[in-house]
Amino acid sequence: AEPKANPKPKVVILATGGTIAGAQPKPGDVGYKAGAYPVSALIKAVPGIDEIAQISGEQIASIGSQDMTDAVWVKLGRRVNEVLADPSVSGVVVTHGTDTMEETGFFLNLVTKSNKPVVLVGSMRPATAVSADGPMNLYNATAVAVDPNARGRGVLVVLNDVVHYARETTKTNTTSLDTFASPNRGPAGFVLFGKVRWFSKPTWRHTTESAFAGAIPDTLPRVDIIYAHANVGPEYVQASLAAGAKGLVLAGVGDGNGTQALIEALSAAAKKGVVVVRSSRTNSGAVARNVELDDDKLGFVAAQELNPQKARVLLQLALTKTKDCAAIQEMFEQY
Ligand SMILES: NC(=O)C[C@H](N)C(=O)O
C-alpha cells in the first residue's frame, strides 16, 4: 500500500540557544551553560509533539541570548520569511534565551512578511534541571504555532502557560518561571497542555502591515541606550556619540526624564542630527510628547509604550528609512 501522507500541519523550529538548550555540569548544579544542546535534542525531549505537528528543526545560532547581535537578527528574520513563504508550512517556533527574547520578538514583529504564527519560546530552568520547564513550553508553543486563531496577531511569546504579544511583553524577574508579563495590556491568551484560549487582538501595526516587513537590510545602524539615574551627567551621551551612534534611546526616570545635564546633552545631540527617543526605565506606562519636557523645543521623539530595549529596535529600523523626527514619531505612534 502507498504510505499515507502525514496530515499534521508543518512547523519549523528555528533554534538560537538559550537556557531552554542549557546544560548543568552535573544534576543539581545551580550554574549552567546556555545553548549547549542542539535543536534535535530539544524536540526529542517533548513527548507528543509529533501528535501536534510535523516538526523539523534548524540551528540558527547556539548562544545565550545576552549575546544576541544584529547579525543573528538579520539571519533569523530572513530565514523566518523564507520558511513562511513555503505554502506547506503552518508556522514557525523560535527557541531563544529569555534575556533578550522581547527584543528579538519585537524585531520579528516588524520584519516578518506573513500572517502565519511566529512563536518565540524559552525556559527559565536548563534542560537538565529537575522539573525543566522547556519541554512543556515547547509543546505549548508548537500548539500555538498550528492554531489558525494565532494568525494575524503578530509575533508571540510563550512561557509558563501564557501567550504574550512580543510588542507587549517584558522579562520582569531574574529567575522565576513566571518572569514574562505584559504590563500595559495583559497577555494574548493562555495555553494549557496545548489548548489555547485567546484574548483580544493587537491594534498596532505589525508583520504584513509593517513598512519594514520582508526587506531586512544587511546591517542596522548603531543605537545606544542611555540609562538615567540620580546625578547622571552628559558623559554616557558623549561616549555614545564618540562610538558613532546614529540614534540614542533615553531609559529615563519616571516619564522619560533625566537631570538637566543629561537632557541638555541629548538635546545637543538631537540638534546635530542624532535621533533621540525618550523612553522610561519604569517598565510600564507610556511616554507621550511634551508632558514634563518640551519635546518640540528639545528635538526629541517620545517612545509611547515601548520600553527602552524595544524603542531601540524600532529606532534601528526607522533609521534605515529616515532621520526625520516627525516621521519617526509617527512610527512610534503606530508600531
Ligand atoms: N532563561 C534564559 O534563557 C537566560 C539566558 N541567559 C538566555 O537568555 O539565554
What would the DSSP string read from start to end of 225-249?
A: EEE--TT--SHHHHHHHHTT-SEEE
Q: Is 208 a catalytic residue?
A: no
pLDDT digits (tens, 9 = 90+) for 141-158: 999 999 999 999 999 999
How far apart, in Å, do the first and last CA atoms of the chain sit?
A: 53
- State whether the beta carbon of 179 lies less than 6 angstroms from ligand 1: no
Question: Hey, which of 65, 67, 176 would you mutate to test ligand 1's pocket, going by the most ligand atoms within 8 Å of its Cβ?
Answer: 65
- State whether the beta carbon of 104 lies less than 6 angstroms from ligand 1: no
Global pTM reads 0.97
What's residue 27's pLDDT?
Answer: 81
What's residue 265's pLDDT?
Answer: 98
pLDDT digits (tens, 9 = 90+) for 221-263: 999 999 999 999 999 999 999 999 999 999 999 999 999 999 9
**What ipTM did this prediction achieve?**
0.98
Cα 225 to middle of ligand 1, angstroms: 21
Question: Which of 45, 64, 65, 63 has the alpha carbon at shortest distance from 55?
Answer: 45
Cα 10 to middle of ligand 1, angstroms: 27
C-alpha cell read off for 297: 523645543
Atom of ligand 1 nearest to the CA of 34: 9
Distance (Å) of CA 17 to CA 24, 94, 210:
14, 10, 27
What's residue 7's pLDDT?
Answer: 85
Cα 21 to middle of ligand 1, angstroms: 9
What's residue 28's pLDDT?
Answer: 83
Residues of the chain predicted below pLDDT 70: 1-6
Q: Is 19 a catalytic residue?
A: yes
